[in-house]
Chain A
Amino acid sequence: MEAIVTIENLRKYFDIKKSIFSKPRKVKAINDISLNIPRGSIFSVVGESGSGKSTLGRLILKLIEPTSGKICFEGEDITDLGSKDLIKYRREMQIVQQDPYNSLHPRKLIKDIVGEGLKIHYKLPSDEIYVRIKGILERVGLREEHMFRYPHEFSGGQRQRIAMARALVLRPKFLVLDEPTSALDVSVQARTLALLKELKESLELTYLFITHNLAVVDYIATHVTVMYLGKIMELGSKDEIFSNPKHPYTMSLLEAIPSVGRGKRIRKIPRGEIPSPLDPPKGCLFHTRCLQAMDICSKEEPDEIEISKGHLCRCHLYS
């Protein structure tokens, strides 16, 4: 499959300054990540808080500048483009954020929120804008009369649909979905996920789906990347990762999910908590919590190993 987005050796370091007198310390939010996102896929990025998964989405959209590395969209290098040159890519790549209560401008009508992209990119007559807004709202399951309301009049699920309409009105090819359903109730999440799946097929989209919920990944994704402290731990097709997980971290994430209606069970949970990204462990980043850690894990960082075609894993167990 042809890649719609390619990133090579991407790094993003943030400077953390405690006071004006102390030396800034570097947080390696994204530390040397390379991957290809195939066109038409739902490419999910999984990890716990602090794994860098949201930063990755924002880097690809160029909402933040990478420290080094290369980002290509449809074969074009967009890493160093300024805002003027980026504008045509803005039409192609959009984002839906996590928090439906802060992602819509509270004082604007729905028609203005959804129509903003059209006004930025095209000089269209107002009736044409109206028709397009109405069309996209209906596409995400809302109605024409919703155009003249304010965000506070909608439930979380409806707000998330409005955010989708705002992103889709420019007819993008690639969408970053940053935890789009984690703030929603489970019954609303189900309908939102079904809608996302349906939109992906009918509008021929590619998703980068950022989430912490592996059950959601199993339902929607075609590819999975597991991140930990800014690095990829395991990557592969969804079926491969779920049927044949290799990395101890992936396994423990799967293990930690409460099983519905299966009663109590004994499980192998990783010990401790995710270390501070200011002070990441030496060697393998996961060794401090790994149940299968060996001597070498605390000394040497493992390389990415290809388990089978397209299935990469960063772990000494397989070298």
Chain B
Amino acid sequence: MSRLLDVENLRVIFHTYRGTIKALNGIRLWLNEEERLGIVGETGCGKSVSALSVMRLIEAPGEIIDGQILFEGNDILKLSEEDMDRHIRGKRMSMIFQEPISALNPVFKVGFQIAETIAHCNDISIGDAYKLVPESLEMVGLDWKRSIDLYPHELSGGMAQRVMIAMALAIKPKLLIADEPTSALDVTIQAQILQLLDELVKIGKNAVILITHDLGVASEFCDRITVMYAGNVIEISNSEEIFDEPLHPYTKGLISSIPIIGASRELTGIPGSVPDLVSPPSGCRFHPRCDFCFDRCRTEPPTLSEISPGHFVACHLYSDGVKEG
């Protein structure tokens, strides 16, 4: 499989009156064609910012200050805004969001909005595009006769997310970015949407980046998982291994925090709370909350290194002489 996306050393900051928020601290991500990558982490870890950066949707007060994003071999950070719109965004990659109802335009009917997307991407007239809308709606499991003339506010959360998926996949993107697509939905609807997405992505051969705080969702849907903490990628591994053999103390803490039915174990959690990214901790950003912290962690930021094939971790416990323990 060939490489679709390669993000190297990406740094993003946000200027606020309180100071500069170092939102992404030189992260590395990659994705092959047709691969599904989950980005997992808690509030403020930078997972959404990573996704927006890949779409080049970071706007003031945010700023990409360093790094490169190779998409199909081209550095999209070097493209003009115009080229981005003409060739990449909404053509080669598309995105779905957590709040589907607010992501739709409230004054236009659902059918028209889908038609507009199809027309834009295939350079055909709206009239021609409109003829393709029923197929699009049926594809995401909606009754097109009943839903084509609805306004966004008349949709339930689940229906709106289906419409968003129809729009995002109508352009046949190489890469689909899904930012917490099911977090606002009830569990049964979440399961429906994930199943639908699974089927459609298999058919469309799209690569997916799924951003979620729910390790369960990520582990079911994705091939590979990237764990982020405080603007850093701290661990990358395939979905099974990260649960069976988590390496980073944060990943371990995260996994031992999840209640699992039938597991009947105590939940340990992680002491403390996420750091303020205006003045992040020195060295490893996790060290103030880490049980295994030693001197080096306080001064030197760890780098991502491959411990076993395909399993990367950024933690001093695993660098050089110090072995797994």
With both beta carbons as reference points, the residue of chain B lying nearest to A189 in the complex is identified as B257
Q: Is there contact, CB below 8 Å, between A261 and B191? A: no
* Residues in B neighbouring A216, C-beta threshold 8 A: 259
Q: Is there contact, CB below 8 Å, between B158 and A185? A: no
Among the 9-residue stretches B52-60, B80-88, B260-268, B314-322, the one with 4 or more Cβ atoms under 8 Å from chain A is B260-268
Q: Is there contact, CB below 8 Å, between B192 and A269? A: yes
Q: For residue A262, give the distance in angstroms from its CB to the closest CB of chain B.
A: 7
Contact of B189 among A155, A242, A273 (CB under 8 A): A273
Q: Does B220 contact A (CB under 8 A)?
A: yes
Q: Is there contact, CB below 8 Å, between B191 and A269? A: yes
Category for how many chain A residues contact B: 35 or more
Q: Does A267 contact B (CB under 8 A)?
A: yes
Q: Is there contact, CB below 8 Å, between A48 and B261? A: no
* Residues in A neighbouring B256, C-beta threshold 8 A: 190
Taking Cβ atoms with an 8 Å cutoff, the residues of B that contact A are: 42-43, 156, 158-159, 186-192, 194-195, 198, 213-217, 219-221, 239-240, 242-244, 253-262, 264, 266-271, 273-274
Q: Is there contact, CB below 8 Å, between B158 and A186? A: no
Among the 9-residue stretches A7-15, A63-71, A252-260, A305-313, the one with 4 or more Cβ atoms under 8 Å from chain B is A252-260
One digit per residue, 1 when the CB lies within 8 angstroms of any chain B CB and 0 when it does not, for chain A 190-234 equals 110110000000000000000011111011000000000000000
* Residues in A neighbouring B156, C-beta threshold 8 A: 273
Q: Is there contact, CB below 8 Å, between A48 and B186? A: yes
Contact residues of A between 40 and 94, Cβ < 8 Å to B: 48-49
* Residues in A neighbouring B239, C-beta threshold 8 A: 261, 263
Q: A190-B257, A218-B262 are in contact. Are A258 and B214 (CB under 8 A)?
A: yes
Cα A252 to Cα B191 in complex, Å, equals 10
Contact of B216 among A242, A258, A271 (CB under 8 A): A258
Between-chain CB contacts (< 8 Å), 22 pairs = A48-B189, A155-B273, A186-B257, A187-B253, A187-B257, A188-B270, A189-B257, A189-B267, A194-B267, A212-B186, A213-B187, A218-B264, A253-B187, A255-B191, A259-B216, A259-B220, A260-B219, A260-B255, A261-B239, A263-B239, A264-B220, A273-B158
Q: Does A274 contact B (CB under 8 A)?
A: yes
* Residues in A neighbouring B240, C-beta threshold 8 A: 261, 263
Q: Is there contact, CB below 8 Å, between A260 and B215? A: yes
Q: Is there contact, CB below 8 Å, between A267 and B259? A: no
With both beta carbons as reference points, the residue of chain B lying nearest to A252 in the complex is identified as B188
Q: For residue A303, give the distance in angstroms from its CB to the closest CB of chain B.
A: 25
Contact of A186 among B188, B195, B258, B266 (CB under 8 A): B258
Q: For residue A279, give the distance in angstroms from its CB to the closest CB of chain B.
A: 13
Q: Is there contact, CB below 8 Å, between A258 and B217? A: yes
Q: Does A270 contact B (CB under 8 A)?
A: yes
Contact of B266 among A194, A215, A264 (CB under 8 A): A194
Q: Is there contact, CB below 8 Å, between B188 and A187? A: no
Cα A194 to Cα B256 in complex, Å, equals 13
Q: Is there contact, CB below 8 Å, between A188 and B269? A: yes
Q: Is there contact, CB below 8 Å, between A185 and B42? A: yes
Q: Is there contact, CB below 8 Å, between B254 and A219? A: no
Contact of B187 among A187, A188, A257 (CB under 8 A): A257
Q: For residue A259, give the distance in angstroms from its CB to the closest CB of chain B.
A: 6
With both beta carbons as reference points, the residue of chain B lying nearest to A267 in the complex is identified as B191
Contacts A260-B255, A273-B158 known; 16 new A-B pairs at CB < 8 A: A185-B43, A185-B213, A185-B274, A187-B253, A188-B42, A188-B273, A190-B267, A194-B267, A215-B258, A242-B261, A258-B191, A261-B215, A261-B239, A263-B240, A264-B220, A289-B188
Cα A219 to Cα B258 in complex, Å, equals 10
Q: Does A180 contact B (CB under 8 A)?
A: no
With both beta carbons as reference points, the residue of chain A lying nearest to B261 in the complex is identified as A218
Q: Is there contact, CB below 8 Å, between B188 and A269? A: yes
Q: Does A115 contact B (CB under 8 A)?
A: no
**Most chain A C-beta atoms within 10 Å of own C-beta, residue among B156, B239, B259, B268:** B259
Q: Is there contact, CB below 8 Å, between B220 and A263? A: yes
* Residues in A neighbouring B43, C-beta threshold 8 A: 156, 185
One digit per residue, 1 when the CB lies within 8 angstroms of any chain B CB and 0 when it does not, for chain A 152-172 equals 000111100000000000000
Cα A49 to Cα B195 in complex, Å, equals 21
